[in-house]
With several copies, the nearest count.
Chain A
């Protein structure tokens, strides 16, 4: 699971450097994000602009991250497109996650 970390105004921007977040990658993804949350990050933007496909395991991992960060933290998703957006809509998760076109937009809203 390739993740690229970046800090912006105390927000962790995590770029998913994989084309697919599926059952083969979801467990590692969940663990990697959990590690960062345990380390104290409670404001996280996931940059999914490079992701072309997510299955229900990947989606479940995202939900797990959201739960772990908890109601006092913040998890936003940036750059989801095409098949990824379609999955969010189908499962009504577009109403659960805070979705943004770009990382900048997500960071800006989280900072304000």
Chain B
């Protein structure tokens, strides 16, 4: 028994917080604090990327999010109609991004952290581009059911 809802904003960074707050409220019914934050940060990074990179900052385009609360996981799909991104950017992203030298001030990252955060925070991440629509599917399992996470 899955229970799903779709949320839509237009491509405006000012509206991302609305989506994030709504999705967080949905998740917090079934996920603990840390897992809810994991979903929220991943969702925000994904949507920011769609607006900034996919739609190149242009307003008036759609960004959709489908949230499904399932018995043992939460599934989030981010849907856009922008040019697809290079899928390897996502599959190559990881926590290695943060293996910087903390003593080298100049080398600290000021950007390029979003995809890495998504990979670190979600249990499954899949990107599908095609038919004028891109779908980023992200899964967060309930903490109590995955003692290894």
Contact = CB atoms under 8 A, between A and B. Distances in A.
A and B touch in the complex (CB under 8 A): yes
B98 A22 contact: no
Interface in B9-62: 13-14, 16-17, 20, 33-34, 37, 40-41, 44-45, 48, 51-52
A3 interface: no
Contacts of B114: 55-56
A60 B109 contact: yes
Contact of A60 (B33, B98, B111, B120): B111
Contacts of B16: 22-24
A83 B37 contact: yes
A70 B14 CA distance: 31
A40 interface: no
B37 A56 contact: no
B40 A96 contact: no
Interface residues of B, number: 31
A24 B121 CA distance: 22
A60 B113 contact: yes
Say what secondary structure dominates the interface of chain B: helix
B20 A23 contact: no
Contact of B45 (A55, A64, A71, A83): A55
A87 interface: yes
Given A55-B41, A55-B45, A96 B117 contact: no
B8 interface: no
B17 A71 contact: no
B102 A95 contact: yes
Contacts of A66: 105, 108
B117 A90 contact: yes
Given A86-B34, A90-B117, A92-B100, A57 B48 contact: yes
Interface string A44-78: 00000000010111011101101100110000000
A63 B98 CA distance: 13
Given A55-B45, A63-B109, A67-B110, 16 more contacts: A22-B16, A22-B17, A22-B48, A23-B16, A23-B44, A24-B13, A24-B14, A24-B17, A53-B17, A53-B20, A57-B111, A60-B110, A66-B108, A67-B106, A70-B105, A83-B40
19 contacts: A20-B17, A20-B20, A22-B48, A23-B13, A23-B16, A24-B16, A55-B45, A56-B111, A56-B117, A59-B113, A61-B110, A70-B105, A83-B40, A90-B98, A90-B120, A91-B98, A91-B117, A92-B102, A96-B102
